[in-house]
Chains A and B, each alone.
Chain A
Amino acid sequence: MANNVEVKEIKYTAKDFASDQEVRWCPGCGDYSILAQVQRTFPEIIDRPKEKIVWVSGIGCSSRFPYYMNTYGFHGIHGRAPAIATGVKLANPELSVWVASGDGDLLSIGGNHFIHACRKNIDLKILMFNNRIYGLTKGQYSPTSEKGKITKTTPYGSVDYPFNPPMLALGAEASFIARSIDRHPKHLQEMIRRAGLHKGTAFIEIFQNCNIFNDGAFALLTEKDTKDDHVLELVHGQPMIFGKNKDKGIKLDGLTPMVVDLTSGKYSKDDLWVHDEFDPNPARTAILAMFDETPGFPTPIGIFRQIIKETYDEGLFRQIEEVKKKKGEGDLEKILFSGNVWEVN
């Protein structure tokens, strides 16, 4: 009987999640919007008391995030947030563990931890603030900066290729991969909500404007007159349509995607690729992820993929219970006196 357990109705507002610390990002920074959307979404998605939420971060402008959330928080060292968060989650699986990280923090110095968290499907929500630059260190190029980028460390333009974050997450078989934009609050809220509901590693790439060192990096995707032609909003079960007048669509011909004109009379909605978040075939997710690098194609936002599989923490505690059942609760005295023992009298 559970009537001796007091069930408290938890009702929070966005304000409950704001800490007393003064927010210190540059005025106009996209990080403000991300913070606001998290604080707005949390009252709705949080299914446990506030003290069971932990925010973990690495180092960077983005990694200041935990200080501004009135939850438990851990500001780690550069790149290590996924590993620290893993430890928190495994120490106490009842906690809801969130990671705030940057493109440099998560994909450069912390790349190894990121892919392994995805691979192990540890129940973490990872928000990567992608401003395609190193903000905190004042403007060096990052692993998501476009080739040819001119920055303080690449005065003649960078010669290396950027990471495609959803592609990387897919390669590591993350069980939830999404993308959103700081300037698209409603969409961002929805992605945060959906990530919060997912069990397993949930990765959201958030395009974030650094108005000091990389201003306008996502202008095409956020400015009124260009965004509709450049952003494809993925909606589960819906055909892929974009454009100012909803006049363009994506058709998948075998494994070859094409942008088609819906006004030409040649193609209708029925010819279009219908988005399936649960598509088990990673090849199709990869095709979606590559749109970003293909001229003429729109940039997808939304949930690229989501699959359900046992999380690491579930596996770990399942195994502990199984072994306990098989061997009985651990008995230290018995273990100490086991093996080849002998008496000296």
Chain B
Amino acid sequence: METEKEKELLQLKEVTIRFAGDSGDGMQLTGTQFSETTALVGNDLNTLPDYPAEIRAPAGTIYGVSGFQLHFSSEDIFTPGDQPDVLVAMNPAALKKNLPELKKGGMIIVNSDSFDIKNLNLAHYESNPLEDGSLDGYQVYQVPISSLTANALEGVKLSPKEVARAKNFFALGLMYWLFNRPIDKTVQWIHEKFAKNPEYIEGNEKALRAGYNFGEMTELFTARYTVEPAKLPKGTYRSISGNEATALGFLAASVKSGLPLFLGSYPITPASEIIQYLSTYKNFGVKTFQAEDEIAGITTAIGASFAGNLAITSTSGPGLALKTEAIGLAVMTELPLVIIDVQRGGPSTGLPTKTEQADLLQAVCGRNGEAPVPVLAAATPSDCFNMAIEASRIAIKYMTPVILLTDGYIANGSEPWKIPHVNELPEIPVKFRTEKEGFYPYLRDENLARPWAIPGTPELEHRIGGLEKSDIYGNVSYDPDNHHKMVTLRAKKIKNIENDIPLLEVEGESSGELLVLGWGGTYGAIKEAVNKARAQGYKVSQAHFRYINPFPKNTEQVLKSFKKILIPEINLGQLAKLIKSEFLVDVQQFNVVRGLPLRVADIVDQIIKTLGGNNGK
């Protein structure tokens, strides 16, 4: 291309971009499209959508700002990036809200048309930041995106409102030019998405191309950038979000176990996508039941499990609270069931669209009576796929409900996923009891699991329920010694699962000064932080739990191999509490509960602080 010769093409290792605008500005779409294209170009990437709980907050206000951050690189990356290098701000409110997080000296691209008195007022700006010098020190590019879009769309049969709405495609086109990405994937997407609406196709495609061409023609930009493909292991890849991976994981578990999948669920952010995805797989025989409430979500699943389906229920923290009593029922009836909690900010309704790790204790302890439940936690968006299969395997093998924790960040965030082939996935053996001889509903096998004898099986008619059962026979029993025995057996059955899960892996030296210990969705942030600290010469290792109840068998040994243990969490120290009480070790906590992923830089600071200056170097 000619202009490429004219304009410098600078190579970068990694870039973090944040798109920000009004909730109605289409920033999630813009971000998703940029991510998809970036994945296809071959970069490693990680995304963080961040949107308000209000569907359409009043236009122009700060609380109505919706953002989408993505971090892409020519190397392995694990987080959406702490601070953006580039901010695309579609209005003053978006600038105001996001500027504090932009890197010093970072690039700002604004839609200058939107910086009028009205919008400046709505964003509580006393003077125009584009004129008053407050952005000195940043590279500011003022682009009249709205009017350029309107010019480009002249003659297209769209209302002025619809024309205005196309401006996000202009911005996207400009960013494609600036970061040297092809536009054709998005063009194709526009054609598919608006197949029934030729005017929309024309308008959006024109806006996209106009944005791209503007970059080329304008004098504004003197350079453009490129990020080389990452060196990922060989294979076929797609970009996947945690919720989609969760849905696919359960679909795979259904195929691998040969059991029809039944999902009972009540919509709740950020978990609703799981039922939405699964409801499209009807041709796999998947049954999705949108229940009247969370209690019905889980109790229909319990009924389906009793009758022999692979039964799951998906929710977020408030829903998990409602399901509590029923989880106890599944513990008592010893039926396989997976409860997925996509954690969000709490307590109560809390921060519905934000992430948090504050349901750990609810998952591990939150039930009446002694009701032990295995608790698993996915570490990254694509790991949700593996953990969904694992949760199903454990539930079936041990005849127990299992809680799978993910969180808003990994649920909505996405990363490249090396797609596994179906024949590489683990089998999930299922044995329904059919022989009458020697059948007792609570006679246990070598794993302490009771038989799964489903209705429809001749001569195995039996009754189960929430009342305490007599050992082996399963009749209602109020015998004190029997109760003690059953409580102990149920606990032992769950504890025993430690023999059937991977050991806790230590990344870095297997013993030494400092271990950074995490669980669930903070894996990427901790990993990047530990890598950074190690690159600076600090002696620090990482271990990350994906199995929390029971803990991996070698946990104590790992903990005792380090002088100090640092536990960063997006809660006030819930894993720390479990570790302290279970292993009687001292730990240092790092807790930030902002509804956002932990920042790598903050964890690095903590590592250095915990090591005490040069300690460990």
Contacts and interface: CB of A to CB of B under 8 A. Distances in A.
B5 interface: no
B457 interface: yes
B237 A80 contact: no
A15 to B, nearest CB: 14
B299 A83 contact: yes
A91 B234 CA distance: 41
B304 A116 contact: no
B467 interface: yes
B467 A75 contact: yes
Contacts of B418: 344
A320 B278 CA distance: 13
Contact of B466 (A70, A77, A116): A77
Given A90-B300, A335-B251, A336-B419, A21 B475 contact: yes
A187 interface: no
A326 B283 CA distance: 9
B296 A116 contact: yes
A107 interface: no
B263 to A, nearest CB: 11
Nearest to A323: B282
A337 B419 CA distance: 7
Contacts of A73: 461-465
A303 B293 CA distance: 30
A56 interface: yes
Contacts of B457: 51
B235 interface: yes
A333 B282 contact: no
A293 interface: no
B63 interface: no
B251 A87 contact: no
Interface in B200-252: 229, 232-239, 248, 251-252
Among A57, A329, A337, find the residue whose CB has the most chain B CB atoms closer than 10 A: A337
Contacts, number: 210
Among B248, B466, B476, find the residue whose CB has the most chain A CB atoms closer than 10 A: B466
B296 A76 contact: no
A342 B353 CA distance: 31
A92 B308 CA distance: 8
A205 B460 CA distance: 31
Contact of A87 (B239, B292, B304, B420): B304
B283 A320 contact: yes
A70 B286 CA distance: 31
A343 B422 contact: no
A341 B419 contact: yes
Given A324-B283, A337-B236, A75 B421 contact: no
A51 B454 CA distance: 9
B300 A84 contact: yes
Given A83-B264, A92-B309, A112-B296, 5 more contacts: A50-B461, A53-B455, A91-B309, A324-B283, A336-B248
16 contacts: A21-B476, A50-B461, A83-B292, A86-B289, A86-B296, A91-B308, A94-B456, A95-B307, A116-B291, A329-B284, A330-B284, A337-B236, A340-B239, A344-B42, A344-B234, A344-B237
Interface of B: 36, 39-40, 42, 185, 229, 232-239, 248, 251-252, 255, 260, 262, 264, 281-287, 289, 291-293, 295-296, 299-309, 311, 325-326, 328-329, 333, 418-422, 454-467, 475-476
- 8 pairs of A and B residues whose beta carbons are closest in the complex: A87-B303, A75-B465, A330-B284, A73-B463, A91-B307, A87-B300, A91-B304, A87-B304
